[in-house]
Amino acid sequence: MGILMNALRLFSQMLSLPLQLLELVGIYGAYKRIFPFFVYKMSVSYNKKMHEQKKELFRDLAEFARDGRALRLLEIGCGSGSNFQYYPRGCTVVCTDPNPHFKKYLQKSVASSDHLKFEKFVVASGEDLGEVEDGSVDVAVCTLVLCTVKDTTRVLVEVHRVLRPGGALFFLEHVVSDPSTWTFFMQHVLQPLWYYFEDGCEVTRATWKDLEASRAQTGEVL
């Protein structure tokens, strides 16, 4: 299966050559202007499919509020704000995303989420959250983000910096499947094309290794 997988992956790489050329000459950047529209449209069906999983994931968010105050939450790579419906009432939300063109769609989600207090939107990558103060949030959230960042370790360092002592990271990520599965096979075959159509997403990452290494280094549970 390995030989076939590598052969098909090579074919996908060949198909992606025009996209690589567009990136090289700077034209691919135009896709980032329309990508938020597709994400906004797809988020409705995705949330329906993942509703129970997201509901379970975010079930305990409110428990991280401190001293009787409202929860303060940082969402890294917020996109169009598709997670807002799962955040507890009264929660203060700070959003970051490296793509400024998400702001238009994020504002639509804010308008329909009157149970939240929206603080600000910061155009920033997960590796550089300099506009968020040290220890200033109770919870950090990233969903389908660590599969796109350039430096996962750096993102986790930033998460530790902005979280207060006892805070937590809630995450839901694309990761590489078990090597014995057809999912693993297809992930590797389609990755060269998937990277460009999904704005840098890499579904072949073993992200849990970075999370485990971060926990071992800090002695804290993210």
What Rg, from alpha-carbon coordinates, does the chain have? Answer: 18
The more confident residue out of 55 and 216 is 55
Q: Which residue reads 């994020």 in tokens?
A: 106
User: Among 24-28, 139-143, 178-182, whose mean pLDDT is lowest?
Assistant: 24-28
Helix (H) or strand (E) holding 92: strand 92-97
Structure tokens at 131: 């506009």
* pLDDT computed for residue 2 by the predictor: 87
Cite the beta strand spans of 35-135 per DSSP E: 72-76, 92-97, 117-123
Segment 148-161 mean pLDDT = 97
- Is residue 198 helix, strand or coil? coil
Is it the case that residue 221 has pLDDT exceeding 70? no
Segment 146-154 mean pLDDT = 96
* pLDDT computed for residue 67 by the predictor: 83
Question: Which positions ≥6 away from 180 have C-beta within 8 Å?
Answer: none
Structure tokens at 186: 């297809």
Pairwise CA distance, residues 191 & 36, whole Å: 20
In this structure, which topology does domain 1-61+69-218 adopt according to CATH? Rossmann fold (3.40.50)
Q: Where are the domains of the chain?
A: 1-61+69-218
Question: Which positions ≥6 away from 173 have C-beta within 8 Å?
Answer: 142, 143, 144, 145, 146, 147, 207
- Is residue 219 helix, strand or coil? coil
What is the pTM assigned to this prediction?
A: 0.93
* pLDDT computed for residue 68 by the predictor: 83
* pLDDT computed for residue 220 by the predictor: 59
Instruction: Report the candidate in 165, 109, 107 with the shortest Cα–Cα distance to residue 136.
Output: 165
pLDDT digits (tens, 9 = 90+) for 8-45: 999 999 999 999 999 999 999 899 999 999 999 999 99
Instruction: Report the candidate in 60, 65, 126, 132 with the shortest Cα–Cα distance to residue 99.
Output: 126
User: Among 65-79, 130-144, 206-220, whose mean pLDDT is lowest?
Assistant: 206-220
Q: What's the angle, vertex CA 23, arms to CA 176 and CA 206, rounded to 5?
A: 15
Pairwise CA distance, residues 112 & 105, whole Å: 11
Is it the case that residue 165 has pLDDT exceeding 60? yes
Pairwise CA distance, residues 27 & 98, whole Å: 18
Pairwise CA distance, residues 80 & 41, whole Å: 9
